[in-house]
Structure 1
């Protein structure tokens, strides 16, 4: 039933105390060889198949990870509706001295002129947090510490749905001064976020932040 168990990390807090809930009846071999962090829910098991003992977050494993098809953020493919998996991307809400970094899409990019939180697509084999570290290194030329998940924004691309998961983050050393995807980077106070015209998927994240969501990071 399961040859190689991989525990993985929590897509919310980044912790490694993940519990797998397996729905269905296991073979005797699978039951005997399963790690202690596997919970056999049986045929009547309901609810998400993953949970985190550290932050109590729950999720479905199939709802986290790389997109099955290539595509840039905000752009769809030519497949028929309903045939493509969600395009999964991550964004960083970078914080510094009570201010938040906002980025304006460059004229050469889709959604030009709209503001967003920097980030990009999750590649195969990456956790959301790993993808965000890589994307910010490539896009902004910085190293960051990734914090907890803030929430998810979505957009209908016509033939595909985009899922944007945004995380708190903070620069480890140097602060970004330029971007490969944006023509303007600005640090603003929380209340000034409403004054910008945001890309659709980022709007729910902005609303949560303006409503008072506080930065969260794992204890060192």
Structure 2
């Protein structure tokens, strides 16, 4: 397995009731502190599976992946990230992994820049524009 594959991350873009789930990491990666629930993709795991697993492990929320929004090398962390649009199907939103997560919020479209001031990956922004402004 290559170094890139070992460090690849899957992020769940979870939308419910015209809000998107964001979490504040206990340890920020550079200027990034609020982000989508995310974590490393395990060997033999699809990005969609990793996004769902990490969301449950970090937030207690059960989600079903709906579509792949895209992937990129994050401009601030250089980590390869797969963005997965996901729908909640159960569980309760709580800080389930206090060693990793310091806070959770369901942000409206207009609140996103307060949490993510550097902007979003364009396919994610397009998805949230459609999902949150409908």
TM-score, length-scaled by structure 2: 0.76
Q: Does 1:143 align with 2:72?
A: no
Q: Provide the secondary structure at the position in 2 that maps to 1:114.
A: strand
Distance 1:143 1:85, change over 3 A: same
Higher relative contact order structure (alpha carbons within 8 Å, sequence separation ≥ 6): 2
Q: Does the CA-based 8 Å contact 1:91-1:117 persist in structure 2?
A: yes
Aligned CA RMSD, in angstroms, stands at: 2.8
1:105 corresponds in structure 2 to: 25
Determine if the alignment matches structure 1 residue 127 to structure 2 residue 46. Answer: yes
* 1:1-220 equivalent positions in 2, closer than 5 A: 68=1, 84-86=3-5, 87-106=7-26, 109-111=27-29, 114-155=33-74, 161-180=78-97, 181-197=100-116, 203-204=120-121, 207-209=125-127, 212-214=129-131
Q: Give the C-alpha shift of residue 173 in structure 1.
A: 1.6
Larger radius of gyration: 1
The Cα offsets for residues 31-65 of structure 1, whole Å up to 9 and x where unpaired, read as xxxxxxxxxxxxxxxxxxxxxxxxxxxxxxxxxxx
Which structure's residues are more often helix, by fraction? 2
Structure 2 CA distance for aligned equivalents of residues 117 and 186 of structure 1: 10
Deviations 1:51-103 (A, max 9, x none): xxxxxxxxxxxxxxxxx36xxxxxxxxxxxxxx33521100111111111111
> Contact 1:153/1:163 (CA < 8 Å) preserved in 2?
yes
Contact 1:153 1:203 in 2 (8 A): no
Q: Tell me the distance in 1 between the aligned counterparts of 2:76 and 2:16.
A: 33
Unaligned runs of 5+ residues in structure 2 are none
Q: Flag structure 1 segments of 5+ consecutive residues without an equivalent.
A: 1-67, 70-83, 216-220
* In 2, Cα distance between equivalents of 1:177 and 1:85: 31
Give the CA deviation at 1:213.
Answer: 4.1
Tell me the number of residue pairs that the alignment of Structure 1 and Structure 2 aligns: 127
Going by fraction, where is strand more abundant, 1 or 2? Answer: 2
Question: Residue 29 of structure 1 aligns with which residue?
Answer: none
